[in-house]
Amino acid sequence: MSTAPCDRVTPMIDLRSDTVTTPTPAMRKAMAEAEVGDDVFGEDPTVNQLERETAQLLGKDAALFVPSGTMGNELAVRLHTTSGDEILVEAGSHIFNHESGGAAALSGVTCRLIHGRRGIFEASDVLAQIRKADVHNPPTTLVCVENSHNEGGGAVWPLGTLAELAAAAHERGLAVHMDGARLWNAAVASGVSERKFAEHCDSISVCFSKGLGAPVGSALVGNAAMISRARRFRKMWGGGMRQAGILAAGALYALRHHRQRLAEDHANARKLADGLSAIRGVELVGTPVQTNIVRFKVSGKSADAIGDRMKQLGVLLFSTGPESIRLVTHLQVSSADVDAALAAFGKALG
């Protein structure tokens, strides 16, 4: 469990996000012993190794270590588009909702929204939104998918649906980018390898600092020419890092050792959802729970007030709306923590 500022002296159960994890002792040891060099010169051996292993895992030519998933996504948008283009994104996507308008500011593109089902849409949805070639219309050049989908309650894309969508997009000259911040979760939950998901996409961003528990970092993965261009834009946008092997070592350790244990987080999320469903007034949103995210509503009660009460009881949560709450299980939430959290919810919502 992580410790958060509050008026308690006992550790808090932090269910706000899987970004709150702290390095394990073994990860800290790997970071402390990391061999480093100047990554902007391409001379950091640990960063180079992380990029090679990530690219190999996803079946692509190359990868680029970046500070955040937002940078990875925004680099992809920049690489696949020209200023004035339009991209297709799901209405609840991270790229549209949580990246500070980066697509417009950094790439000069507009977003056309597709309203999916738990964040997932089909080839027909893409075809219906592609602009006709006309001087009045912005060219549609990119479609973005998110797997697993945060606002969809951690929903995983069915491989067949993704394959059909990508084929339809590619036939019409559109590139496909996957925001795979939680692709590791999607792979474990579905039994479909990351490589199988990735083979339908031109680029993929993956995150090491969420479910895998590393302190910092993501990667953008694609073909060699694309990643070479991305390296220039990363520098332009201030993302060039020097002796970054200290950070890359944590990500590399997580990639090698923390992927399969994500099944524990998924089991804890299902246990959490089952317990919440038995509490009067709780309405689960985005079911069934597939990965590590649980969303629910409590009609007639303030989510912020519930959050304040839960904090007093030793549990941190994240309000996503006036009556909506998101909970995320992760490396430092145990089954016993879930039991304690459910007991606290019983008091807060009773």
**CATH, residue 124:** 3.40.640.10
Radius of gyration of the chain (CA): 20
Amino acid at the residue 284: L
My answer on whether 313 and 294 are in the same domain is: yes
> In this predicted structure, what is the pLDDT of residue 9?
40
Confirm if 324 and 297 have CB atoms less than 8 A apart.
yes
Helix, strand, coil distribution of the chain in percent, nearest 5: 45, 20, 40
Confirm if 292 and 156 have CB atoms less than 8 A apart.
no
> In this predicted structure, what is the pLDDT of residue 11?
78
- Last residue of one domain, picked from the residues 242, 257, 272: 257
My answer on whether 74 and 203 are in the same domain is: yes
> In this predicted structure, what is the pLDDT of residue 258?
98
Q: What are the residue ranges in the chain where pLDDT is below 70?
A: 1-10
- The H-or-E segment that residue 190 falls in is helix 183-190
- Last residue of one domain, picked from the residues 224, 241, 257: 257
Which of left, alpha, beta for 42 (phi over 0: left; psi -120 to 50: alpha)? left
Closest CA to 157 of 128, 129, 192: 192
My answer on whether 50 and 77 are in the same domain is: yes
Structural domain span for residue 79: 34-257
> In this predicted structure, what is the pLDDT of residue 350?
79
Residues 334, 350: Cα–Cα separation, whole Å: 24
- Last residue of one domain, picked from the residues 257, 286, 311: 257
Kindly provide the b/e burial profile for residues 270-304, where b requires at least 16 CB atoms within 10 angstroms of the residue's own CB: bbbbebbeeeeebebbbbebbbbbbbbbbeebebe
Number of folded domains that form the chain: 2
Peptide bond just before 288 cis, omega within 30 deg: yes
Do the domain assignments include residue 6?
A: no
- What pLDDT digit, counting tens, does each position of 124-147 carry? 999 999 999 999 999 999 999 999
My answer on whether 305 and 167 are in the same domain is: no
- What pLDDT digit, counting tens, does each position of 83-126 carry? 999 999 999 999 999 999 999 999 999 999 999 999 999 999 99
> In this predicted structure, what is the pLDDT of residue 6?
42
> In this predicted structure, what is the pLDDT of residue 179?
98
Q: Whole-prediction pTM value?
A: 0.95
My answer on whether 75 and 108 are in the same domain is: yes
> In this predicted structure, what is the pLDDT of residue 3?
41
